[in-house]
Amino acid sequence: MLKFAVKNKDIDMAASLVNDMTAKAFRPNLSTYNSLLNLCLKLQRNDSAFFFYQKMKEMQTPPDSFTYSIMLNGAKNNSYDIKLINLILDDVRASLTEMNTRLDEVVFNTILEILFTYDLLDQF
């Protein structure tokens, strides 16, 4: 059903399915969340992207390099509130320090672009 929703760009159906799944203690996997995030940002539905991003964190599904690339590229292509940018950057920091996550160069290059775009060089 989620594949159907993504294929048909039906974000509202996808959100409903994710809510139903999590209410019944099922956990969508990281690939599912990344697909949903990617779709939301392609359609410039920042609110839906952050809904799925928060839901992913609530379900204790750790983001990976691809997740951060999706979210940070969304920030580059769409205007995010600075609080949301800082939330993502804080999550990247936590992944690097607390979970010893290895992030690829694409993520770091995108972070640099975000820092310049949003005038956050003091965080560098």
Q: What is the pLDDT of residues 19-54, one digit of tens each?
A: 898 889 888 899 999 999 999 998 999 889 998 999
Task: Say if residue 58's pLDDT is above 80.
Answer: yes
Q: Report the C-alpha gap between 59 and 54 in whole angstroms.
A: 9
Q: 49-84 burial, b if ≥16 CB within 10 A, otherwise e?
A: bbbbbebbeebebebbbbbbbbbbbbbeeeebeeeb
Mean pLDDT of the chain: 88
Q: What is the pLDDT of residues 63-104, one digit of tens each?
A: 988 999 999 988 888 888 888 888 899 999 888 888 777 788
CA 113 vs. chain centroid, Å, equals 17
Report pTM: 0.83
